[in-house]
Amino acid sequence: MAALPDNPLEIAQRFLAGSGQIQSELGSGTDGIVYSTSRPSAIKVFAARQPYGKELAAYSRLAEFDVSELCGHNVPILFGHDDETLVIEMSRVVPPYVLDFGKSDVDICWDFTDEELEARLLEQAEDFDEYWPVARDIYYALRHYGIYYHDLSPRNVAFVNPRD
């Protein structure tokens, strides 16, 4: 796992170039850190080129097809990016949403047999309980656009009224 740059907040602010301000940290994970801005956007500063490229490819594909929602779930819209600093700016979304494409592949099908894929999906079904049918539909909707979503989890696919 790559480490975040020493100054992700500074990188995010520099990306805005005076057209807005960083407001707060929205979250962080293995791929990077996300900040809300004074614009209707979020900025993600990535720790490494590979997840940046994967996420940018997925958002670009969704933009190509003008996708802003899947199965009733909001999808961030790509606003901008910087290949040098590994930054993506996207629209902010509220639940229900699907996000975090840093572990996705575009147009690269996995080497799973149908049986292996079904077993993998059944493991993920346990994480979603009664929400699994919609989460599964989102997974297949992404595949329809050539996006193979490796990180199908409740932290990335949020519902309006999740169980407590």
* Extents of the domains making up the chain: 8-158
Q: How confident is the model at residue 126 (pLDDT cuts 50, 70, 90)?
A: confident
Residue type, 106: V
Q: What is the pLDDT of residues 100-117, one digit of tens each?
A: 999 999 998 777 777 887
DSSP letter for 30, please: S
Q: Which fold has domain 8-158?
A: Phosphorylase Kinase; domain 1 (3.30.200)
Cβ proximity of 51 and 102 under 8 Å: yes
Q: What is the pLDDT of residues 23-67, one digit of tens each?
A: 999 999 889 999 999 999 999 999 999 999 999 999 999 999 999
Q: Does the model's pTM come out above 0.85?
A: yes
Report the pLDDT value the prediction gives residue 1, as an integer from 0 to 100. 54
Average pLDDT over residues 132-144: 94
- Integer Cα distance of 81 and 86 in angstroms: 7
Cβ proximity of 12 and 20 under 8 Å: no
DSSP letter for 162, please: -
% pLDDT > 70, the chain: 95
DSSP letter for 11, please: H
CA distances to 82, 99, 124, 136 from 154, in Å: 28, 10, 9, 12
Residue type, 148: Y
